A and B are shown apart, each in its own frame.
Chain A
């Protein structure tokens, strides 16, 4: 039986830090070090071996990569020094960009549509708007329910002056330049990700 190496080769070249996957020796320290380890369908170790084995659909459609909390435990413990957190972030991004990731996976949806939109629309995080957008992502009724569930926390934050009652915020002064910079960066990124 011949392995199809085209997926692995594309990941090595075009997924952020993907080339490091070649170095994994399958020890599993990453899996054992992950705070959400039990919730991964496939651990980082398994994902890396599946990339090598050409299991494109299984890797990219998996919810696994979206379980990363960015705690960096796997990075500092990997005996081969693989930047595992970054490799996993890279695979998540790759799956999202190539259209394999479930668009309704909660973290994919939050990260790519709500959070990123929030920061690039003004240059800084607008926490109140971010929370509102997140709560109301499944519609008005679900949003109100979510809001009510977190009401005590929100009131506590308002009282402590750690939540802005006005969700709108202004743009940074150099927003035009900031936006032009990001447009150019995105253009270069798309070129890189498509392997041109």
Chain B
């Protein structure tokens, strides 16, 4: 049993927007013999919009507290995140602490108020990197029991899983791992030129029309390329692209009704897991296209 320290993040909590990701990730890891040890009492990473209210230090201190707790509880075991923003915030904090001694000193002055300290040493990884590097493509393919034969999938990588850090070994403009994951399940990765375009992120809350226009283009591109399903690793992408389809149809007179699922949901289903284990009952746009494989 391979173990990792785990930072699920706010959207993966019970009854939160990415509960379907969390549930399917747990099923997937169980099938792989991976144990994710959640950091006890973690806090929000401050997300992509936290810069305005938090500035530099309060924002970075939030991630530093998670590192400090992780170190206390699990030593230097690799810390794995599933949420793009959490992963990015942890990577950014680690990098800033490593390269800017005064930031590191200030962070520790703040952490001391919580009786904590962090000197570095924990590597932050995305679960996707664990699948590629530690589990490996051969194993991911060998576990397939119900190949998703003929299923046409658009692999939507999005922004923050891809930039500014990106998945190890992938390019910013045309990352290929998600297409390879789709193909590893036996499905067809359709060409998807919008794979690294933006869904609006947190601006879906405030600049609704502008963000919906971005998502409309993402949806149209998937449909134009024949996709029956969109798959993504990012909880914000998943939410924005799935849940706003009704609003987009109202705004633009379109008729989108395309399921948007996580890579973990595809794997669980292809590896013989049930509809519930894949958390496919927790979709807002029903994943009808996947029913034939359940």
Contact = CB atoms under 8 A, between A and B. Distances in A.
A92 B52 contact: yes
Contact of B53 (A70, A115, A174): A115
B58 A182 contact: yes
Main secondary structure of the interface of A (DSSP, over half): helix
Contacts of B214: 35-36
How many of chain B's residues touch chain A, expressed as a range? 35 or more
Contact of A89 (B47, B52, B109, B205): B52
B160 A72 contact: yes
Nearest to B43: A123
Contact of A70 (B48, B54, B110): B48
Nearest to A16: B56
Interface residues of A, number: 67
A160 interface: yes
Contact of B46 (A93, A107, A119, A159): A119
Interface in A127-169: 127, 134, 149-150, 152-153, 156-157, 159-165
A93 B52 contact: yes
A6 interface: no
Given A39-B210, A125-B44, A189-B56, A69 B163 contact: no
Nearest to B15: A164
Contacts of B200: 35, 69
A131 B211 CA distance: 16
Interface string B239-280: 000011011000000000000000000000000000000000
Interface of A: 16, 35-36, 39, 67, 69-73, 75-77, 83, 85, 89-90, 92-93, 96-97, 106-113, 115-117, 119, 123-125, 127, 134, 149-150, 152-153, 156-157, 159-165, 172-174, 177-178, 180-186, 188-189, 192-193
19 contacts: A16-B56, A36-B210, A39-B210, A67-B203, A69-B211, A70-B160, A85-B164, A97-B55, A110-B205, A117-B53, A123-B44, A124-B10, A162-B284, A177-B113, A178-B43, A181-B111, A185-B106, A186-B57, A188-B110
A9 B198 CA distance: 33
Contact of B159 (A72, A106, A150, A193): A72
Interface stretch (B17-25, B124-132, B137-145): B17-25
Top 10 A-B pairs ranked by shortest CB distance?
Answer: A116-B53, A177-B114, A111-B52, A72-B163, A125-B10, A35-B198, A180-B113, A156-B284, A70-B48, A185-B110
B11 A125 contact: yes
Contact of A181 (B14, B56, B114, B172): B114
A75 B159 CA distance: 12
